[in-house]
Amino acid sequence: MAGFSAEELSLDDFLGGRVRLLQPRQGYRAGVDPVLLAAAVPARSGMRVLELGCGGGQALLCLAARVPGLALSGLELQANYADLARRNAALNAADLSVFEGDLSALPVDLRHQQFDHVIANPPYYRAGAHSPAQDAGRQIALGGDTPLELWFDAAARRLTHKGYLHMIQRADRLPEMLGACLGRLGSVEVLPLSPRVGRGAELVLLRARKGGRANFRLHAPLVLHEGARHTDDRESYVPEIRAVLREGAALPWPK
């Protein structure tokens, strides 16, 4: 399948302009979720990072802007988004290897590699559990056919011993995520993301370690917005989240 034409794309700023990304005008467009995911990863220069389902490379390139010197790889099912990730990597002068393939049948070259960190932002809905999108790319991004368990299995197989998985997902799928860690990953931590004080978490960030033995930790929710409700059109992120989204800061993961 041919990649996106120039007319089908917009050029958008992330991290206050530190990252510039081509995105389809009518397809899947990244919000804050991949930025928060990238900010949660405690990677250091020289480490190897793999994103499962990398889309146009948003999370990986945001991570690269914060931590230089990483060896980045992405796996993407849709050829046009894999091509877009390569174009975005070139646009941001980032060294990113993009593999096309499915989680259940990884490309041979990728199966022979190990990584210090694996990150993932899987489709938030089970296939058929949401209103269908008109755009095929957005439809796959919203509701994939691949069970969450396969995402965890692929991540665990590609991680080095003591390597970390970070995943962002809807809070109501946390039981699936925890079940998928059993026998694969340990030292599980969950950071709920609450839109405002007093509101239930809509998303969670999960951190798990291959070979980890620490007790499970459920952290207090990280609140994203100031105030009890949205009152006007101005941006209302709390200072810590604003620093993540606009300045490329690391996410304040609890100790």
Write the pLDDT tens digit of every residue in 82-94: 999 999 999 999 9
How many residues in the chain?
A: 255
Q: What are phi and psi of 96, to 5 degrees?
A: -130, 125
CA distances from 168 to 34, 57, 92, 118, 204 (A): 8, 15, 24, 12, 6
Task: State how far the Cα of 56 lies from the Cα of 79, in Å rounded to an integer.
Answer: 10
Question: Quick one: pLDDT at residue 83?
Answer: 96
> Could you tell me which residues come within 8 angstroms of residue 128 by beta carbon, excluding any fewer than 6 positions away?
143
DSSP 17: G
Q: What are phi and psi of 251, to 5 degrees?
A: -70, 135
Question: Quick one: pLDDT at residue 255?
Answer: 82
pLDDT tens series, the chain, 255 aa: 468 999 999 999 999 999 999 999 998 899 999 999 999 999 999 999 999 999 999 999 999 999 999 999 999 999 999 999 999 999 999 999 999 999 999 999 999 999 999 999 999 986 554 445 454 544 444 446 789 999 999 999 999 999 999 999 999 999 999 999 999 999 999 999 999 999 999 999 999 999 999 999 999 999 999 976 666 666 789 999 999 999 999 998 888
Block residue for tokens 């952290």: 219
In the chain, the domains with their CATH numbers are 6-247 (3.40.50.150)
Find out whether 159 and 210 touch, Cβ atoms under 8 Å: yes
Q: Which long-range CB contacts under 8 A does 29-34 form with residues at least 24 apart?
A: 30/55, 30/56, 30/58, 32/245, 33/121, 33/168, 33/203, 34/58, 34/59, 34/62, 34/121, 34/168
Question: Which amino acid makes up residue 155?
Answer: A
Whole-structure pTM value: 0.90
Task: State how far the Cα of 84 lies from the Cα of 216, in Å rounded to an integer.
Answer: 38
Question: Quick one: pLDDT at residue 235?
Answer: 76
Task: State how far the Cα of 80 lies from the Cα of 3, in Å rounded to an integer.
Answer: 4
